[in-house]
Amino acid sequence: MDHRPHRPLFRFAAPSVAALLALTTACTGGTVQGRPGASGLRDPFFPKAGNGGYDVRHYDLDLAYRPDSGELHGTAVITARALQGLSSFNLDLTGLDVESVDVQGEGARFNRTGQELTIRPAEDLEKGQEFRTVVRYSGKPKVVTDPDGSEEGWIRTEGGGAVGVGEPTGSMAWFPGNHHPADKAAYDISLRVPKGYEAVSNGQLVSRAEQHGDQSGDSVFRWRSVEPMASYLATAAVGKYRISTATTSAGIPVYNAVVPELEAKSAEALGRIPEIVDWGSGRFGPYPFSAAGAIVEDEGALGYALETQTRPVYPGAPTVDLVVHELAHQWFGNSVSPKSWRDMWLNEGFATYAEWLWSEDHGGPTAEERFTAFEEGDTEVDPAADSEWWAFPPASPPGPEHISGAPVYYRGAMVLHRIRQEVGDKAFFDLVRGWAADHRHGNVSTADFTAYAEQKTGRDLDEVWKTWLHGKERPST
């Protein structure tokens, strides 16, 4: 079945050399023969997330948001490389109306089933070919509910604005894409909002302009993320924020946006962002991104904080510990990203352990004391110590509803501390820094980590893996 419109091969009498060559290959049977790209990356927990057959290089998202109506108008220009010959390929998108899709400048057929936007280009794409897809869409983006009941996607806030958050699968509610952490890309995100609103996203603010020409009085904010980003870490926040800026000692610009009511309450913790980034750089190696900051929303907006790249989102004024946690994710999760959603402990175990290290380095309980507190359920040392941190092995949550469960965070951190107990401080911190450096802007699995840890430390850590990482029983030392 071929829906392609018939197009004459030559418009003019004298064919170009390129056209002649194309004709020659066509005659010898060398025409591009594509097949459909896979509709999911077979993630063990979210099998439909992401798509096969191509690799996104860059997203250019042009978004206009109207807080009054909650309407979003978007143009997504997606530059990708075909990993196989493609007769069709998918993007993930949920809700919203798709107005048109172009591939390589030509109108493409498309249809939608569930979260899959299937696109059939006018001409098959060749393996290795870089191609551009333009999706025009609009509508009221929806809230996505996770298997564990938490909410993500596009969340409208009390102040009349909204925030887009995506872990694990919410980003498909506000832009079409290859929504799995295995496919990272650079981003340019442009946000157009009515006068009086601020618009904040990841990376650096390239420009901010008031639109006078069209009388709208809208403001357009252009944000750029040059380092690769997994789509669940993209954010777009619209609100009447107060903006503050700073610079770390390494020269990284900090840009914070805070709802006005929480400006005073947030000042202390946000004021320490440069110090926390510097501290993390000492502990984990150079900060992996060229920007930092925070977005502070009303308490009711979200049920959790999220480590959105360079600029985490906080539900209310954050504590210093929470800022340490979300900034630690910039190394662990954002730069070194999971290959699958089952590998979440590599994000959360490290970010939790970073809090333990911060405490140790700043006169609080040491990581050893914290570890013991969890074993003993001592909530004086850590209020979370009585959680069911042993309920399942951190490397294999029983299902997608458990990827942010207590064992992923606390037993994940305990795995790291067990390694430290085995190998000593010097080898342990060499391991942590090596892991962040050797997998910078990459993707990793649990097996990658265990192999790396043994190779880097030269030690057999099988007992740690068996008991703490993979064991079903409650571990004890």
Positions that interact with Zn ion (CB under 5 A) = 348, 351
Among 164, 149, 145, which residue's Cα sits nearest to residue 297?
A: 164
Q: Which is nearer to ligand TRP, 67 or 153 (CB)?
A: 153
Q: Which is nearer to Zn ion, 92 or 348 (CB)?
A: 348
Could you say whether residue 307 binds ligand TRP (CB under 6 A)? yes
| DSSP H or E stretch at residue 427 | helix 425-438
Q: Which residue is nearest to ligand TRP (CB)?
A: 404
Could you say whether residue 326 binds ligand TRP (CB under 6 A)? yes
Q: Quote the least distance from Cβ 414 to Zn ion, whole Å.
A: 15
CA dihedral (49, 53, 57, 62) in degrees, to 10, reads: -60
Interface segment toward ligand TRP; rule CB under 6 A; list 114-122, 219-227, 256-264, 298-306 = 298-306
Scan residues 340-379 and list those touching ligand TRP (CB under 6 A).
Answer: 344, 348, 351
Q: Cα–Cα distance between 328 and 348 in angstroms, integer?
A: 9
Q: Quick check: 125 and 131 in contact, CB under 8 A?
A: yes
Alpha helices in 163-299 (DSSP H): 263-271, 273-284
Q: Quote the least distance from Cβ 165 to ligand TRP, whole Å.
A: 8
Q: Which is nearer to Zn ion, 348 or 448 (CB)?
A: 348
Q: Which is nearer to ligand TRP, 305 or 414 (CB)?
A: 305
**Both structure tokens of 424:** 């000593």
CA 434 to chain CA centroid, nearest Å: 22
Scan residues 167-186 and list those touching ligand TRP (CB under 6 A).
Answer: 167-168
Interface residue with ligand TRP among 23, 260, 304, 361 (CB under 6 A) is 304
Q: Quote the least distance from Cβ 378 to ligand TRP, whole Å.
A: 23
Q: Which is nearer to ligand TRP, 95 or 153 (CB)?
A: 153
176 binds, among ligand TRP, Zn ion, none (CB under 5 to 8 A by kind): none
Q: Quick check: 147 and 169 in contact, CB under 8 A?
A: no
Among 342, 458, 313, 354, which residue's Cα sits nearest to residue 403?
A: 342
Q: Quote the least distance from Cβ 6 to Zn ion, whole Å.
A: 54
- Length of the chain equals 477
CA 123 to chain CA centroid, nearest Å: 32
Give bridge partners of residue 57 from the DSSP assignment: none
Q: Quick check: 262 and 317 in contact, CB under 8 A?
A: yes
Q: Which is nearer to ligand TRP, 78 or 302 (CB)?
A: 302
Scan residues 399-418 and list those touching ligand TRP (CB under 6 A).
Answer: 403-404
Q: Which residue is nearest to Zn ion (CB)?
A: 351
Q: Quote the least distance from Cβ 273 to ligand TRP, whole Å.
A: 16
Q: Cα–Cα distance between 91 and 114 in angstroms, integer?
A: 11
Q: Cα–Cα distance between 460 and 455 in angstroms, integer?
A: 9
Q: Which residues bind ligand TRP (CB under 6 A)?
A: 150, 167-168, 304-307, 325-326, 344, 348, 351, 403-404
